[in-house]
Amino acid sequence: MHIVTDLLIAVISAYLAFTSTLASGIESLFATAEPAHETTKPAETTDHTLSALPSRLSSLIPDVLLRSADYQQAAAVAEAGLSGTTVDDPLDAVVNILCTYTTEEYIRTTTGTGFFIDPDGVIMTNAHVAQFLLLEATHENGETDCVVRTGNPAAPTYHAGLLYISPAWVVTNAEMMTAAVPMGTGERDYALLYASERVD
């Protein structure tokens, strides 16, 4: 059964790489080359850094994952090829994730579907579901709690931590993290979480 899990992970990884390449190819097809115009004013450039996040967070976000002991531990486990058993029914791997970001001024929530891709507790989901966990590691402006709910009906089972989030998605959507009605394209919208502990 472990071979089936490895095969599923390989297929999903290949699919994500293919769709990313396809999206880049389509984007380049529709790019229009405009004739150069002479101007006395320098052209404006778009800065795709994370400076659009709240001021104290902008310098912390890019290396949050690199400094995370959990991220480093998961990378070492993956490199060593350590893994457990898999489930017989793929529906047992499907979970609901509810993330809440609480500040003194407001409470924001996001929810979505994920699925266990490794028996050691790794969960694949969308980046927009896991986005508040980026802010958790900064200890600024609020607290984040992500709960993994399993079963039917779904019941809180695990707390989740951030293992990986697409850096390209973060750069593109940094301004939308605090928007009242965030809207994105779904491009590169993937993340990996891990089940950190059981809910009491």
Banded model confidence at residue 95, pLDDT cuts 50, 70, 90: very high
- Name every residue whose Cβ is closer than 8 Å to that of residue 49 and which is 6 or more positions away in sequence: 58, 171
In the numeric block, the tokens 């491009």 are attached to 187
Q: Which one has a higher pLDDT value, 168 or 52? A: 168
One-letter amino acid identity for 6? D
| Best CATH choice for the domain 63-198 from the list 3.40.50.2300, 1.10.10.10, 2.40.10.10, 3.90.1310.10 | 2.40.10.10
Q: Please report the pLDDT score of residue 114 as a whole number.
A: 92
- φ, ψ of residue 21 to 5 degrees: the values are -65, -40
Residues 121, 60: Cα–Cα separation, whole Å: 26
Give the distance, in angstroms, between the CA of residue 190 and the centroid of all CA atoms in the same chain.
5
Beta strands 107-118; 122-125: pairing state = antiparallel
Digit-coded pLDDT (tens) for 138-163: 656 778 888 999 988 889 999 998 88
